[in-house]
Amino acid sequence: MRKEDKSTVLEVLQGYIQQYPHFYLTDIEGLNAEKTTALRRQCNKSGVKLVVVKNTLMRAALSASDVDFAELYGSLKGNTAVMFSESANAPAKLIKEFTKDTKGEGKPYLKAAYAQEGIYVGREHLDYLIAIKSKEELIGDVIALLQSPAKNVISSLQSVGQTIHGVLKTLEER
């Protein structure tokens, strides 16, 4: 690869690291063309950007960032594809769904991840990463919790009102 091409790719990777708050380092080596195409389609549907990178260029892009990604450097071996995402758990769900036929042992597999400002190295973190809730999901949970007591009070008041109405109706008929 020419030096100009390397600098262009490096700039693109740095832009992705700044643009997307979460990314996963995965291994997709050995996937045939059909499975690779299916993976890319699923990534596009899920809002995940899949990029195959050279480990040295990814390491250089991570080094240029403000965040200390030193823990991820050990995972930059062999074939590496990076899944960039706005949602912390979208790539993890995608990997789990894509490997469900192989009970999570197939490819792509998780090498490491940077999600919710934390670094996770190894396949064993996949289930934990799936359980991470997005900002929208957390806001929805908080709103549901805040609405619950109000709904209970309104429900009680409505049932009391119906009970009183029923008693008055019965007395009126007598």
- Domain, as residue range, for 29: 3-132
Domain count, the chain: 2
Do both 116 and 153 map to the same domain?
Answer: no
pTM: 0.74
Average pLDDT over residues 117-122: 88
Residues 89 and 141 in one domain: no
Cα separation, 94 vs 113, whole angstroms: 14
CA distances from 151 to 8, 38, 122, 148, 155 (A): 56, 45, 44, 5, 6
Are 43 and 66 found together in one domain? yes
Query: Once rounded to an integer, what is the mean pLDDT over residues 18-42?
Result: 89
Say whether both 30 and 103 belong to one domain.
yes
CATH number at residue 72: 3.30.70.1730
Percent of the chain residues past pLDDT 70, beyond the cut: 86
CB neighbour class for 106 (10 Å; exposed up to 12, middle 13-18, buried from 19): middle
Quick one: pLDDT band at residue 23, thresholds 50, 70, 90? very high
